[in-house]
């Protein structure tokens, strides 16, 4: 079968659905690949590179006559008419918002697979085009902000004085938000971020940002993966927090987009309170914008000197790498649809991934798809109804339980103090000095390690390896002692330290290998 990759016709689009690298992978699956002349020119891929990869370069009509056509954006009406009955079209379609497009595919008798309808399950992550585009958009948002911002992201200390780092506030801890956080942190900015999902806090902190704690404004997540609707009180508290953080920040990056719609997070009053020269990058501009003053597809500068960037093509502004990532998503899809690696597409509607992204098939409209069962585990049994408890009684019981716990804690501390006093009173004088050093080392080690940033955990691992090396040397010196008790402790210490040293170096080597270009 032949796969065709046409040139994108949407004004300003620079992406292409196939690159020379992905063409070679499709050819290895047994397909003939046809690329429209000039399809990759905006992404720095010339026709000669496609030919060298095994593709044929053809005209517009011929590429749309292929058995399978893959493109970035939904095809225009005249291109749909060029598809032959029984052909397969693979692209982003937004079928939930484009019923006219679904009807056009059905009327033409083609099989339509929506790249932006891939089920959000682990097995389908390699096909997830939305995550790919969001990741690139988050990175590009920081680049756009850096260009519009009138200062450096990283703080500088020079002979002429010092400058403070840029302050960045990111709204949303999803794929786009985390990508923006990572880019801003790598440039040296001071980054704070918020997400309505409390479980996103750990991910935000792992990227080197500070998670804004607003417990009353955070929500539980519904079964479909989206945050539940806010109460009026939650909306009020969230608005207060957004106002405080936007006034603090030099750059605000918003990423909140729910089912294609952008909730309002930054009001005109909040923008007015920002310092002149500040920047707002609205990644949700395609859904109307999170900022009240966003104009989709444009850049606005307010009377107070705040720049609001509402580009809707951020991923397309990095066409070379975005096309490569998007093309890899399509290759992974074709691997799923070509189990025999013989160049023959096989659509299996019993596969939840294929069924979830199939819009039309064999003259039938299959959109919307049935719900995806995320877990194969049996549903949890329904808990028996519990009778209501008097709040006064509940409060009294809770107070009593807290009092008993406090008494047990005091008793434990008292017993520990007595045992420690006995140990000091009946031990040799040298023991007191050794024990003091041990206690101080425990306290110092705890407070030092607990306050280390996530981004420094790998260097910290190397430091602990050095400490374990000192322990190993000390243990080896004591193994020859005449006291069997000292020898036993030295043997245990040497064994544990060796495990820590060799295990730490293996983990560090594995992590460093991940960042090598030739890995």
pLDDT tens track for 409-461 = 888 988 888 887 887 777 777 777 777 887 787 777 777 666 666 555 556 66
Full DSSP string of 93-134? --TTT-HHHHHHHHHHT-EEEEGGG---SGGGGGG-HHHHHH
Please tell me the predicted confidence (pLDDT) of residue 223. 44
Q: What is the pTM of this model?
A: 0.71
**Of 226, 304, 408, 453, which is the active-site residue?**
226
CA 5 – CA 40 distance, rounded (Å): 10
pLDDT tens sequence across 80-106: 999 999 999 999 998 988 999 999 999
Place of tokens 């060029």: 82
Distance, CA of 206 to CA of 48 (rounded, Å):
43
Distance CA 89, CA 360 (A): 10
Would residue 226 show up in a list of annotated catalytic residues for this protein? yes
Q: Is the bond preceding 175 in cis, omega lying within 30 degrees of 0?
A: no
Average of pLDDT values for 299-318? 96
The pLDDT tens digits for 195-230 are 988 888 999 999 999 999 775 555 555 444 444 556
Report the run of H or E that residue 405 belongs to, with start and end.
helix 391-425
Q: Which of 77, 84, 103, 125 is catalytic?
A: 125
Judged by DSSP in three states, 263 sits in coil
Q: 357, 368 in Cβ contact below 8 A?
A: no
Cα–Cα distance measured from residue 53 to residue 341, given in angstroms and rounded to the nearest whole number: 18
Q: Is the pLDDT of residue 270 over 90?
A: yes
Q: State yes or no: is 120 an active-site residue.
A: yes
Question: Which pLDDT score, from 0 to 100, does residue 199 have?
Answer: 82
Give the residue among 347, 358, 353, 333 at the shortest CA–CA distance from 123: 353
> Among 128, 195, 250, 282, which one carries the catalytic annotation?
128
CB atoms within 10 A of CB 434: 11
Say if residues 169 and 246 touch (Cβ distance below 8 Å).
yes
At CA 76, angle to CA 71 and CA 77, rounded to 5?
135
Q: Which long-range contacts (CB under 8 A, 24 or more apart) does 204-208 make?
A: 204/173, 204/177, 204/178, 205/454, 206/454, 207/178, 207/181, 207/182, 207/454, 208/181, 208/182, 208/453, 208/454, 208/455
d(CA 361, CA 367): 10
Please pick, among 91, 131, 218, 324, the residue that the annotation labels catalytic.
Answer: 131
> What number of H helices and E strands is found in the chain?
16, 17
SS3 311: coil
How far is the C-alpha of 95 from the C-alpha of 356, rounded, in Å?
Answer: 12
Catalytic residue from among 120, 264, 317, 355? 120
d(CA 434, CA 491): 20
**Tokens at 495, concatenated:** 């064994």
């Amino acid at each position: 079968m032949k796969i065709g990759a046409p040139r994108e016709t949407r004004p300003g689009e620079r992406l292409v659905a196939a690159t020379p690298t992905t063409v070679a992978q499709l050819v290895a699956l047994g397909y003939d690949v046809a690329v429209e002349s000039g399809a990759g020119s905006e992404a720095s891929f010339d026709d000669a590179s496609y030919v060298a990869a095994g593709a044929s370069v053809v005209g517009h009509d011929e590429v749309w006559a292929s058995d399978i056509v893959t493109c970035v954006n939904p095809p225009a009406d005249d291109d749909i008419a060029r598809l032959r009955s029984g052909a397969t079209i693979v692209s982003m379609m937004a079928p939930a918002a484009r019923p006219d497009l679904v009807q056009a595919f059905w009327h033409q008798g083609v099989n339509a697979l929506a790249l932006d309808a891939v089920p959000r399950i682990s097995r389908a992550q390699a096909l997830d085009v939305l995550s790919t585009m969001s990741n690139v958009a988050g990175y590009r948002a920081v680049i756009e902000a850096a260009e519009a911002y009138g200062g450096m992201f990283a703080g500088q200390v020079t002979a002429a004085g010092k400058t403070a780092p840029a302050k960045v506030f990111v709204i949303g801890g999803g794929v786009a938000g985390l990508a923006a956080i990572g880019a801003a942190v790598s440039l040296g900015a001071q980054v704070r971020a918020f997400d309505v999902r409390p479980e996103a806090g750990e991910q935000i902190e792992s990227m080197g940002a500070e998670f804004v704690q607003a417990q009353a404004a955070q929500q539980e997540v519904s079964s479909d993966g989206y945050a539940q609707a806010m109460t009026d009180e939650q909306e009020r508290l969230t608005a207060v927090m957004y106002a405080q953080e936007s006034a603090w920040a030099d750059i605000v990056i918003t990423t909140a987009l729910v089912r294609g719609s952008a909730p309002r997070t930054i009001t005109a009053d909040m923008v007015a309170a920002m310092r002149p020269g500040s920047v707002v990058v609205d990644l949700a501009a395609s859904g109307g914008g999170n900022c009240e003053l966003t104009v989709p597809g444009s850049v606005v500068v307010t009377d107070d000197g705040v720049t609001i960037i509402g580009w809707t093509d951020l991923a397309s502004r990095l066409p070379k790498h975005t096309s490569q990532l998007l093309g890899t998503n399509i290759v992974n899809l074709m691997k799923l649809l070509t189990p025999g690696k013989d160049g023959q597409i096989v659509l299996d509607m019993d596969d939840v991934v294929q069924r979830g992204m199939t819009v039309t098939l064999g003259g039938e409209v299959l959109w919307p798809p049935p719900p995806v069962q995320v877990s194969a585990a049996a549903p949890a049994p329904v808990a028996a109804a519990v009778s209501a408890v008097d709040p006064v009684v509940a409060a009294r019981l809770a107070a009593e339980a807290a009092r008993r716990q406090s008494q047990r804690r005091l008793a434990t501390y008292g017993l520990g103090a007595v045992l420690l006093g006995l140990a000091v009173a009946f031990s040799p004088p040298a023991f007191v000095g050794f024990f003091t050093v041990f206690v101080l080392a425990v306290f110092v080690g705890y407070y030092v390690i607990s306050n280390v940033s996530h981004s420094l955990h790998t260097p910290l691992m190397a430091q602990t390896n050095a400490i374990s090396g000192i322990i190993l040397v000390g243990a080896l010196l004591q193994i020859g002692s005449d006291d069997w008790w000292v020898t036993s402790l030295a043997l245990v210490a040497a064994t544990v330290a060796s495990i820590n040293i060799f295990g730490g170096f293996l983990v560090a080597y594995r992590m460093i290998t991940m960042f090598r270009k030739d890995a």
